[in-house]
Structure 1
Amino acid sequence: MSKSSAFDVVIVEDEPYLASLHRDFIEQNFKLRVVGIAATLEQARALLELHQPPLVLLDNFLPDGQGVELIDSPLLKSFDCSVIFITAASDMQTCSQAMRSGAFDYIIKPVSFHRLRSSLERFMQLVETKRHVKVVDQTALDRLFNLPAINIPSASSTKGIEPNTLERVQAVFTHKPDISWSVEQVVQEVGISKTTGRRYLEYCVEMGFIVVEMQYGNIGHPRRLYRKKIGA
């Protein structure tokens, strides 16, 4: 896939680890190119005005406000942009406000990569439909906008997953199933890079072998830890 043919994406996420994780997942699996990452609403507005991307992944809880305010802003309404809302906000009011304002999808943290994949696949399908189809029928409309993404079948991607490395990563959790591991601890144990470790850990989450635990401290962002799923 050439970079020139990819569609631009802006990620609005104040947790650097998650922003990096989403960027890697998007660019490795889709015809998409992340042109900027914003940690605040102010940065988001600047990036959106500069790039006018067709897609933005938008967190809600940001240092200078709530992302849901951005969805219905004149800036986003000024160009054709789909919003995938990714947030820990699970209250019905926030969800309803986001969907009423035109969010393409709403994903609750911690993010399931099955769920994110389905959402991105629907977005890519929408882009292609808008480019090549002038008139659609009811079935096509329902498939693009109304069907819950969770009902859309999607196969788990094994791109970049090597069996021997996967076995070594899984062995870390099998040998010590009661320990919650950080990505740094896993990559040190296995002897791989952090980028590779993240990819394998999220693949293991996707296939149900391990689960994510968020460790909250008094200062800074929560840490993302991994533990073997009971019965896996």
Structure 2
Amino acid sequence: MNIIPVMIVEDDIRASYVLENTINQHPNFEVVAVCESLSDAKIKAQAFSPELVMVDITLPDGNGIDLIRTLKSDGFHGAFIMTTAERETSTIERSIQLGVMDYLVKPIRMSRVLQALSDYTELRQQLSKSVKIDQQSIDALFRKQTHLDKSRKTPKGIDQKTLEVLNKHLEDLQDTTFTAEEIGNAIHLSRITARRYLEYLEAQGLVEMSLDYKTGGRPKQRYTKIIAV
């Protein structure tokens, strides 16, 4: 599978860094351009021809919805994923009408970004297999699953036994802060796999992720155990 080029349109530097770092971890995607404004995005969309654009709605010189409209009217055929703090139903409705692939609400979790990328990859693969597909496959593409595995306690990509090992390790861990790499080394997982599990725990409210800027280089993602009181 060819690497899918991605453009990020985001004026928040920290959010942009998290997005770029997360996207570049996925083996099928690569960030080719990062923009902080609508005007910059118009220029770079033509220069880099991204297949997927991550768009913030609130920009210094306009908004992401206007950007999508403009790019489409100029003949741009890429896909769009919204990344925003806006939760108004009118904004979501306009985004759906414009055909965005996904809508990620800030603060954005890395696990949710990776899920959106995997969904796009699956959609792309399904559509490239044949000229026509059946109704069941269409329903799956539009997330209208008719047969859900109700016996499964964890989402796809999260193994229950591995999760139990991780939770036991966190219970026994003396330090309250740690990195994905440290956890991976401790329970024999790759850094990327450990991060996926930590992102799942973050979504469950069991750990919290923050960026450590005192590294002398790129910020490092650190996780903190949330201790019940």
For residues 44 and 112 of structure 2, the distance between their equivalents in structure 1, rounded to whole angstroms, comes to 26
1:49–1:75 contact (8 Å) kept in structure 2: no
| Distance 1:203-1:115 versus aligned 2 partners, 3 A rule | same
Q: Does 1:104 align with 2:101?
A: yes
1:135-150 matches, within 5 Å, as: 135-147=132-144
Aligned pair partner of 1:173 in 173, 176, 182: 176
| Residues 182-204 of structure 1: CA deviation (Å, up to 9, x unaligned) | xxxx78xx9xxxxxx9x977863
Structure 1 position 207 matched with structure 2 position 201: yes
Q: Distance in 2 between matches of 1:173 and 1:201?
A: 16
Q: Distance in 2 between matches of 1:225 and 1:201?
A: 10
Query: Following superposition of structure 1 onto structure 2, how do residues 25-174 of structure 1 map, counting pairs within 5 Å?
Result: 25-75=22-72, 78-147=75-144, 153-156=155-158, 171-173=174-176
1:74-107: CA deviation from partner (whole Å, max 9, x where unpaired): 4466132111111000111111111111111111
Structure-2 change in CA distance of 1:76 and 1:12 (3 Å): farther
Count of residues paired in the alignment: 190
Mark the CA change 1:13 to 1:74 in structure 2 (over 3 Å): closer, same or farther. closer
What's the TM-score once normalised by structure 2's chain length?
Answer: 0.68
Q: Note the residue ranges of structure 2 that are not aligned, 5 or more in a row.
A: 150-154, 160-165, 183-190, 212-220
The TM-score, its normalising length taken from structure 1, stands at 0.67
Task: Indicate if the aligned counterparts of 1:84 and 1:104 stay in contact, CA closer than 8 A.
Answer: yes
Shift in alpha-carbon separation, 1:42–1:225, aligned structure 2, 3 A: farther
Give distance in 2, aligned partners of 1:87 and 1:225.
23
1:98, 1:171 → 2: CA distance? 45
Deviation of residue 172 (structure 1)?
4.1
- Aligned twin of 1:219: none
